[in-house]
Each structure stands twice: as structure tokens, then as C-alpha cells.
């Protein structure tokens, strides 16, 4: 849990640092284009995680048995995504040369960027999370060193240069995956593993994109009902609570793998859940407390003119984080038990609830109304996870254990 949390901090911190560095180097127009490339990478990463990386955490023994098959499927999926990106780059090269060139470069580097992300999940599945720390630390160190070397030399960095530094560093880190798992053979670069887990993967994909889509729909609704400033305030306070959310994500991913691998019952399962709740609750309290004690000058340094809008939202944002933390282990156990159909229904229902709550909150009280309505929505969603977890618990405890042969 500790190493995965460190890795999540490295990954999230490097993404944030990249955005800040590029924002200072490029013009507003080029920075806007860079955020499009970053968004494309994020969407591709989400797709690969849903189709391959996430299902792997539910089948961790397969990473022990045949990591080459998993990585080969990840490479095949990555190549397909890169091909789509390449075609889009060719189509846009004429109408928008900067966008087209950037997409072509991203398409070339995208397979290694996605393999880098997949390598992190494989390391968690085989309980070697130190490898994922090396992958993200390598990306961060190489990228910072490259930016520093170029800027200190007095040379100008344009949009293409920023893409090459950012994506090139990630691609170099992606090459390390093949040294960590050298068993990959060319004949394993296919979709066989995905086809064998398709019934789980497509539902996981739906669940993930519905959840993320709800954020975009909610933001559009807030802007339409209230104002763009309200959207900025909500997104800003979400950024401030990201450390606590990162810990929750790290603990959740660790729990999925541990429960899937160990198949715990009774008190053993409750031990996992209690430990997850304790850590994520502590992280939520520390995150919220630190924000409440944050000096205004520091807040303005971080968020600029958006800080006064976000500062008044810290308490309800912290309560959202706490409600989510108190449900730690419920969703993760349901996923680990491979009841992905139930997860999809709850995620869809929770997303609809969140969108409706955002709209009502925006109409009633602007940004504060949105975040306080989010507290209600998050509490209801946590209650749903607990209700279905407790309802399934007797059946899981009564189920016959399935012994898994050693790798």
C-alpha cells in the first residue's frame, strides 16, 4: 500500500508539474493545444486501464503465470490506439499543421507511453510495486532534467519540443517495462488475453467512462446554470483535495489485488477493509485540515485569483473526501469478486445522481451549492456500496475456496 501510494504521488505530481512547466513556456494558444494532446493521452490511458490493466488486478495470478501475454495484449491495444491517433494526425496536418504534427508525434510515442502505464499495474499485480516507482521516477527525473537542460542553455522550447520532452521521457520509461518483464515474445502481441476477459473488460470500460463522462457533463451543466467561475471554483477545490483522493485510489487498487489474490473470508476480509478505511480516512482528515490551515498567500500562489473562490469550499469538499474514504473496501471487494455487472449499475446510478446534484446545487447556490450537493450525493453513493457489500458478504463467506496452483 505504501509503495503504491508513493507511486501514485509520483505519477500525479509529474503530470501536474508537466502542465505547470509547459504553461510557463508556451503561449496560451500553444498551451491550449498541448492540453488537447495531454487529454488524448489521458483518454487512451483510461481505455487501456479499463480493458487490460484493471481486469489484470482482478486476475493477479495471470501476471505471475504469463506476464508476456498481458503485456503483449497491452502492446496490441496500444498500437491500435496509436493507429487511430496517426490517422487523425494525417487528416489534420493540412487544416491545422500544429495539431496534425503533434498528433503524429504522439502516435509514434503513444504505444510506449501506454506500456509504461500498464507496467505499473503489472508490478502491482505481482506484488512488486517498487518496479512501478522506478518507472514513474525515471519519467519524472528524465523529463525535469531535459526541461532544465534546454531552458538553462537559453534555447526556446516550442509546442513540438514540449511534446517531445514530455512524451519522449515517458516513452524511455516505457522501454524499462521490457527489461522488467523480458519474457514477452512477438507472437504474444495479440488480443487473445483481452478476448478471454472481454465479458469483464467491456463492463469495466463502460463503468470507467460513465464515471469520467459524468464529470464533464456536470461541469457543462454548472457552467450553463451558474457560471464559468463556478466551474473553476469546483475544479480548483477538487485539485486541492487530490492528495487525499490519490491515497484513496492507491489503497483501492491495492485492495483489489490483495482480495483477488488471497480470497479472504470473514475476519480476514474485514481486516483488509478496516485497514483501507483507516488509512484513507486519515488521509482525508489530514488533507482537509491542511487546507483549512493554509495561509491565503500560499493559496493565491497555488491557484492565483481562483483561490478565494475555492477557499470557501474546503469544508464540503473535505466531507466528500471523507464520505468516499468511509466506503473504502466495499467497491474494491465487489470488483475483486468479479461482480462487475453490479459495479456498472452502481457507478451509472451514482454518476446520474452526481450530475443531478450538481445541477440542483448550481441552480440553488452556485459553486457552494454544487459542492454541498456533492456531499449528499457522495454519502448516498457510499451507502449504496455498503448496502450491496453487506448483502453479498454472507454469500462470499459461505463460498468454497478455490485453490490456485503455484506459478
pLDDT at position 36 is 83
pLDDT in tens, 269-303: 999 999 999 999 999 999 999 999 988 888 887 77
pLDDT at position 401 is 53
Asked if 364 contacts 288 with a C-beta cutoff of 8 angstroms, the reply is no
CA 143 – CA 141 distance, rounded (Å): 6
DSSP state of 190: S
Computed over every residue of the chain, the mean pLDDT equals 88
pLDDT at position 404 is 44
DSSP state of 305: G
Burial (CB count <10 Å: 0-12, 13-18, 19+), residue 39: exposed
CA 332 – CA 388 distance, rounded (Å): 12
Asked if 18 contacts 166 with a C-beta cutoff of 8 angstroms, the reply is yes
Q: Where are the beta strands (DSSP E) in 168-318?
A: none
pLDDT in tens, 305-322: 778 888 899 999 999 999
Question: What pTM does this model have?
Answer: 0.82
pLDDT in tens, 338-392: 899 999 999 999 999 989 998 999 999 888 999 999 999 999 999 999 999 999 9
**pLDDT band at 400; cut points 50, 70, 90:** low
**Could you give phi then psi for residue 368, rounded to 5 degrees?**
-60, -40
pLDDT in tens, 214-227: 877 887 788 788 77
In the predicted structure, residue 3 carries a pLDDT above the cut 90: no
**pLDDT band at 230; cut points 50, 70, 90:** confident
pLDDT at position 136 is 93
| SS3 readout for 309-336 | HHHCCHHHHHHHHHHHHCCCCHHHHHHH
pLDDT at position 263 is 87
Amino acid at each position: 500500500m505504501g509503495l503504491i501510494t508513493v507511486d501514485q504521488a509520483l505519477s500525479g505530481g509529474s503530470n501536474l508539474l508537466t502542465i505547470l512547466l509547459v504553461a510557463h513556456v508556451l503561449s496560451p494558444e500553444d498551451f491550449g493545444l498541448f492540453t488537447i494532446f495531454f487529454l488524448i493521452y489521458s483518454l487512451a490511458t483510461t481505455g487501456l486501464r479499463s480493458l487490460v490493466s484493471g481486469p489484470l488486478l482482478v486476475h493477479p495470478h495471470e501476471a505471475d503465470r504469463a506476464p508476456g501475454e498481458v503485456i503483449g495484449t497491452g502492446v496490441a491495444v496500444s498500437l491500435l490506439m496509436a493507429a487511430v491517433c496517426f490517422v487523425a494526425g494525417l487528416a489534420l496536418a493540412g487544416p491545422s499543421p500544429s495539431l496534425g504534427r503533434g498528433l503524429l508525434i504522439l502516435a509514434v510515442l503513444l504505444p510506449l507511453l501506454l506500456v509504461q502505464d500498464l507496467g505499473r499495474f503489472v508490478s502491482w499485480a505481482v506484488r512488486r510495486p517498487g518496479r512501478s516507482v522506478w518507472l514513474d521516477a525515471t519519467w519524472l527525473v528524465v523529463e525535469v532534467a531535459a526541461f532544465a537542460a534546454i531552458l538553462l542553455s537559453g534555447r526556446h522550447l516550442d509546442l513540438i519540443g514540449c511534446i517531445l520532452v514530455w512524451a519522449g521521457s515517458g516513452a524511455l520509461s516505457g522501454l524499462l517495462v521490457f527489461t522488467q518483464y523480458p519474457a514477452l515474445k512477438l507472437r504474444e502481441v495479440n488480443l487473445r488475453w483481452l478476448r478471454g476477459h472481454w465479458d469483464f473488460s467491456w463492463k469495466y470500460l463502460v463503468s470507467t467512462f460513465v464515471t469520467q463522462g459524468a464529470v464533464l457533463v456536470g461541469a457543462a451543466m454548472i457552467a450553463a446554470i451558474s457560471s464559468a467561475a463556478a466551474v473553476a471554483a469546483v475544479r480548483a477545490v477538487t485539485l486541492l483535495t487530490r492528495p487525499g483522493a490519490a491515497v484513496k485510489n492507491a489503497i483501492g487498487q491495492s485492495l483489489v489485488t490483495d482480495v483477488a489474490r488471497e480470497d479472504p473470508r470473514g475476519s480476514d476480509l474485514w481486516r483488509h477493509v478496516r485497514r483501507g478505511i483507516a488509512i484513507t480516512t486519515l488521509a482525508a482528515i489530514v488533507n482537509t485540515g491542511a487546507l483549512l490551515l493554509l495561509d491565503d498567500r500560499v493559496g493565491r500562489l497555488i491557484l492565483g485569483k481562483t483561490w478565494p473562490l475555492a477557499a470557501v469550499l474546503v469544508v464540503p469538499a473535505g466531507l466528500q473526501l471523507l464520505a468516499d474514504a468511509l466506503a473504502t473496501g466495499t467497491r474494491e471487494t465487489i470488483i475483486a469478486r468479479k461482480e462487475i455487472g453490479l459495479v456498472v449499475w452502481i457507478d451509472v446510478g451514482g454518476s446520474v445522481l452526481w450530475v443531478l446534484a450538481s445541477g440542483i446545487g448550481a441552480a440553488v447556490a452556485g459553486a457552494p451549492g454544487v459542492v454541498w450537493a456533492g456531499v449528499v450525493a457522495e454519502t448516498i453513493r457510499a451507502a449504496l456500496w455498503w448496502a450491496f457489500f453487506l448483502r453479498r458478504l454472507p454469500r462470499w463467506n459461505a463460498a468454497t475456496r478455490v485453490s490456485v496452483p503455484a506459478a
